[in-house]
Amino acid sequence: MSPGAGGGGHTRRGVVRSHTVITPGGEEPGPAQPDVDVATLLSADTTTPREGLRVQARRVMALLEPGVLSVADVAAYLDMPVGVVRALVADLVRTGHIRTAEPFVPLAQPHEREFLERVLHGLQRL
C-alpha cells in the first residue's frame, strides 16, 4: 500500500484506488479509454437512447440534463466518490451519452495567450 510502489505500472490510480469500479481486473484500458479529469466539463447528448443504462448512470444523465457540470460537481451533487463518477463518465462517453471538454492546459497552440489573458483579467476583477 505504500504510495508510489509502482504496482500496476500506471500513475492514475491515486484518486480511484479505493474503489473497485474502475478498470475491472486491474487491466490497463486501451488507448480508446477516455481520460476523464476531475475538472472535465460534461454535457449530455440527449439524442442517444438511454435504454439499458444502470441506475447510477441514469442519475448522472438526469443531473446533466439542464446543462454543463464538471466531474467534481457531479460527484458532489450526487454524493458519489470522484473515482466512481470518473468511471461512470468514461463509460458514458464511450457509449455516446456524454460529451467532454478537458480542462485547459497550455500546449503552445494559437489563441492560448488570448485565453490566459482573459483568465487573468477575470481574476483581476474579482
Partner 1 sequence: MASSASDRRYLPLGARSVKIVVLGAFGVGKTTYVATISEMRPLRTEERLTRAGQFVDDLTVDTKSTTTVAMDFGRRTLGGDIVVYLFGAPGQPRFADMIRSLLHGALGGLVLVDTRRVDESYESIGLLEEADLPYVVAVNTFPGAPAYPEDVLRDALSLPCDRPLVFLDARFVKSAKRALIALVTDILHPAGSHAP
Beta pairing partners, 99: 43
Q: Which three cell numbers stand for residue 70?
A: 464538471
Write down the least CB distance from residue 92 to partner 1, Å. 17
Residue 83 or 92: which CB sits closer to partner 1?
83
Query: How far apart are alpha carbons 61 and 65 in whole angstroms?
Result: 6
Residue 46 or 94: which CB sits closer to partner 1?
46
Write down the least CB distance from residue 65 to partner 1, Å. 10
Write down the least CB distance from residue 23 to partner 1, Å. 14
Q: Which three cell numbers stand for residue 10?
A: 500506471
Write down the least CB distance from residue 32 to partner 1, Å. 19
Q: Write the single-letter amino acid at 56.
A: Q
Residue 28 or 39: which CB sits closer to partner 1?
39
Query: How far apart are alpha carbons 111 and 109 in whole angstroms?
Result: 6
Burial of 63 (0-12, 13-18, 19+ CB in 10 A): middle
Binding site for partner 1 (CB under 8 A): 1, 3-4, 11-19, 37-41, 43, 63, 66-70, 72-73, 75-79, 81-83, 101-106, 113, 115-126
